[in-house]
Amino acid sequence: MNRSIAFASFLVLLLAAAGCGSKSEPQGAGSGSGATAVSPYDGGPRAGDFPVEPAMAAQGEALFKTKGCTACHAYGKRITGPALKGVTQRRTAAWMEQQILHPEVMTKQDPISKQLLGTYMVQMSNQGLKPEEAKAVIEYLKKLDEDSSETQQAGVGK
């Protein structure tokens, strides 16, 4: 499997596991029980609760585009994998980082990842990103969510 396709698959599952579904897909979709799974990595403040680091977000955007993530993900639209809009408000940075760095472990051990694999039926590939690269991708997703939130707020005041 070429690296771009593998990375795209990896991000599909990462973001699927991150709960990036459409509004019609509940956060715990795919469990069959209707219950939302709880992960030891997903407790505490959401990734988007912290300020965006612009330089890291720019690096993350480049990684996101060059690694082929766009083959399976769009912001606000489901492709093969879940839509990414709001992912940083649904998941912690720790959970997202684990999903990016160790997707094969997460789908075997993490309740959220298990549920989302059941929903999307796609196993993300491990792209061998380094922890700082995973953090950069997370910063990029935080920036997308921040920009979207600012746009929505500007539209409300009109």
pLDDT digits (tens, 9 = 90+) for 46-98: 999 999 999 999 999 999 888 877 777 778 888 887 778 999 999 999 999 99
Task: Give 18: exposed, middle or buried? Use CB within 10 Å, 0-12, 13-18, 19+.
Answer: buried
Residue 39 near residue 93 (C-beta atoms within 8 A): no
Three-state DSSP class for residue 6 = helix
pLDDT reading at 101 higher than 90:
yes
Task: Give 110: exposed, middle or buried? Use CB within 10 Å, 0-12, 13-18, 19+.
Answer: buried
pTM score, two decimals? 0.75
pLDDT for position 5:
52
CA torsion through residues 85, 90, 92, 96, sign = negative
Q: Which domains does the chain have, with CATH numbers?
A: 3-30+44-152 (1.10.760.10)
How far, in Å, are 96, 103, 120 from residue 108 at the CA level? 16, 9, 15
Three-state DSSP class for residue 20 = coil
pLDDT digits (tens, 9 = 90+) for 112-154: 999 888 988 988 878 888 999 999 999 999 999 999 888 777 7
pLDDT for position 79:
81
pLDDT digits (tens, 9 = 90+) for 12-53: 444 444 444 333 333 333 333 446 789 999 999 999 999 999
Question: How far is Cα 61 from Cα 39, in angstroms, rounded to an integer?
Answer: 27
Residue 141 near residue 56 (C-beta atoms within 8 A): no
What is the Cα Rg of the chain in Å? 14
